[in-house]
Structure 1
Amino acid sequence: MHILITDRNFQGEPLLEREAAGKGAEIEIFDAPDQVTDAAWARADAVVTYRGTRTVTANMAKLQRCRIIVRGGVGYDGLDLSGLGARGIAVCTVPDYGTTEVADHAIALMLALRRGIVSYHDGLRADPHANWRFRLPPVVDRLRGATFGVVGLGRIGTAAARRAQAFDMRVQFFDPHLPDGVDLATGWHRVKTLAELFETSNAVSIHTPLTDETRGMIDADCFARMPDNAVLVNTARGAVVDVDALYEALKAGRPAAAALDVLPVEPADRAHPLVQAYAAREAWQEGRLILTPHAAFYTEPGLLDMRRKAVGTIAAYLRDGVLRNCVNGAYLNS
């Protein structure tokens, strides 16, 4: 079993990977996806990629022996699911390595806005005497009794909803891909349309993958429907939110605030007006915009889980024929 890792995300020897793969496995690691050689693609029985999904797709014709590709993470945008499936290559993810971390981060971002943590911190650091004012943040509000709207009630969306419920928030969700009865099983209100969710939520948290269906789905119409003082949180994929529209909407006052862990272009595009306004600390966005660097997933234990489970998924398939968390099953050998 020859396992290719397209981009190293750890230092030192791949001890975890060797343990997860078992005896007899060979592991070949490159520092970056564009450094992978043609020979390495050709000899790989399996591939793990973290940030190299598009590179894998661009080189899939070179995969002569590969039977499985595992994206070390939850999202799989950038991988050609149908093209790889037609070659008999299963595409899998590691959907559970950072579930609680991302949910925690989403709630933390909401709390940072609703409790004014960043505004208080920045204000007091600038002038601890003059800014000793509880009305300093612009969007502080009560959580109890407010409505927490979830777009995409998968693993992370469910975990975030549970946390919001613990703050005595009313939870509702929009997810057209879930079967009937999820609302009865969870006790949370199910809305029929995205428009209804935005019209009736005090906070909206995005937890959907990036697909052709969801790209740019959160748009100007959604923002215009939000109640006064409503906030938006995105810890999913940056391109799900139309950030051009968000920039204009924030300047116009609706949503009242936004917290983004992800952006369509990463690292952040310095030329984008939203990023420029944030970096320049323009007055209109103070206390109303929080950015974090696609870090919602991050803890050291989470990274260890990611590495171990990515290779474990390969070993289970190649050794035992057990295929888990496959996202292109519909295309395999079609």
Structure 2
Amino acid sequence: MARFRILVPDAKFDDDGVIERRLSGDDYDWTICRAKTMDQLPAEVLDSCDGIVTWHVLRFDPALVARLQRCRIIVRAGVGYDHIDLDSTAAAGIAVSNTPDYGTMEVADHALAMALVLSRGLLRYHTELLADPKGAFNSAASMGQRRLTGQTFAVLGIGRIGTAAALRAKAFGFRVVCYDPYVSRGVERALGIERVESLDELLAQADVLSLHAPLTANTRNILGADALKKIKPGAVLVNTARGGLTDPEAVLEALHDGRLAAAGLDVFPQEPIDPETPWYKTWVEQPAWLRGRLLLSPHTAWLSDESRQDARSKAVETLMAFLERGELRNCVNGMTAAAVRSNLS
């Protein structure tokens, strides 16, 4: 008989837990679901699971946490955990861990790809060539394209992914500056980049602004309408971090006003996007002023075959380390191994 019962409530893979079952062995009984609401989850499994590995679809609000009578740990198969209520899990004696060491290179690559495509005008050239195969071959009409070398690549958040993006930007000849009040001083010197002391200073210098901050109460909508009014005119904005850091409606307004030259968004406040959302409908319609200036991808910056496997395997390793040895890795809700509830018999 299996020692541990594990629930995956919102799996983002097609198989029945091949990687999870192979890594954990016979001591673990896995229930793989693809639910979007609590009501779609088996009640008996909710009540009896020892641990959970979750992706980013299902929200762990206090009502759902209250159903977890035996659960000792929730592992997020990914980095962001803003969909998990940290207070109610801690109060219930449930540890919450994330998986920060996967997809770092992919997200940094995606951020630079968006920045380069938009800064070099490739999306605009692409759309112009589709619309007018002959007229597009008129370089005089594309004046204003700037050399990337020497432009300022501004990084908001210089953690793992922000660091990887900064190093890539340096390789393209950008001057790189960062702002992160939570990172120790001197990190920027080790990376060979510059540091500014405020968000306003970062915005004023940015030719490209790349967001790499977590979503917290302090960072939610940090690049809202007011902040976008302070950004250097003609800047390119890239968000591959969390959708709640900026407001797409405000981004569209900044594009329309000319404050932003272009923007690339991989993450959104609501996912999937409601097709009736006004800003999204505008993007679909592609008015002349927006054409070639807004690049979207569906929260796939992290995605590669390798990173998906890493997210799954590292999440399982984190789960097993705690359940079998009491080793608590990457805990984000302030719990210690000793404070986690004892498994009920």
Fold conserved between structures, TM > 0.5: yes
2:59 is paired with a residue whose SS is helix
165, 177, 202: which one pairs with 2:170?
165
Q: 1:2 and 1:33, CA in 2 relative to 1: closer, same or farther beyond 3 A?
A: farther
- 1:6 corresponds in structure 2 to 9
Q: Deviations over 1:44-78 (max 9, x none)?
A: 11001113441464311111111110111110002
Q: Find out whether 1:199 has 2:204 as its counterpart.
A: yes
Aligned length: 334
- Structure 1 gap ranges (5+): none
Q: Find out whether 1:23 has 2:4 as its counterpart.
A: no
C-alpha deviation, 1:199, in angstroms: 0.2
Q: Find out whether 1:318 has 2:323 as its counterpart.
A: yes
37, 57, 64: which one pairs with 1:59?
64
Q: Distance in 1 between matches of 2:274 and 2:12?
A: 23
Q: Distance in 2 between matches of 1:19 and 1:134?
A: 57
- 1:302 corresponds in structure 2 to 307
One-letter amino acid of the counterpart of residue 321, structure 2: A
C-alpha deviation, 1:160, in angstroms: 0.6
Q: Deviations over 1:241-292 (max 9, x none)?
A: 0233222222111012111111112222333332222111111111221111
1:144 and 1:167 in contact (8 A); partners too: yes
68, 71, 75: which one pairs with 2:73?
68
Q: Deviations over 1:174-228 (max 9, x none)?
A: 1111122222222211111100000011110001111111111112232222223
Bigger shift: residues 240-249 or 308-317: 240-249
265, 270, 291: which one pairs with 1:265?
270
- Structure 2 gap ranges (5+): 341-345
- 1:223 corresponds in structure 2 to 228
What percent of counterpart residues are identical? 46
Q: How does 1:120-269 map to 2 (within 5 A)?
A: 120-134=125-139, 140-269=145-274
Q: Deviations over 1:16-48 (max 9, x none)?
A: 101222331111111214321221111111001
2:127 and 2:291 in contact (8 A); partners too: no
Q: Distance in 2 between matches of 1:164 and 1:84?
A: 39
Q: Deviations over 1:120-153 (max 9, x none)?
A: 2222233322222346668742211111101111
One-letter amino acid of the counterpart of residue 232, structure 1: L
Q: Distance in 1 between matches of 2:190 and 2:14?
A: 44
Q: Distance in 2 between matches of 1:139 and 1:73?
A: 40
2:265 and 2:295 in contact (8 A); partners too: yes
Q: 1:313 and 1:272, CA in 2 relative to 1: closer, same or farther beyond 3 A?
A: same
Q: Distance in 1 between matches of 2:246 and 2:336?
A: 28
If the length of structure 1 is used for normalisation, what is the TM-score? 0.94
Q: Distance in 1 between matches of 2:211 and 2:43?
A: 39
2:153 is paired with a residue whose SS is strand
2:320 is paired with a residue whose SS is helix
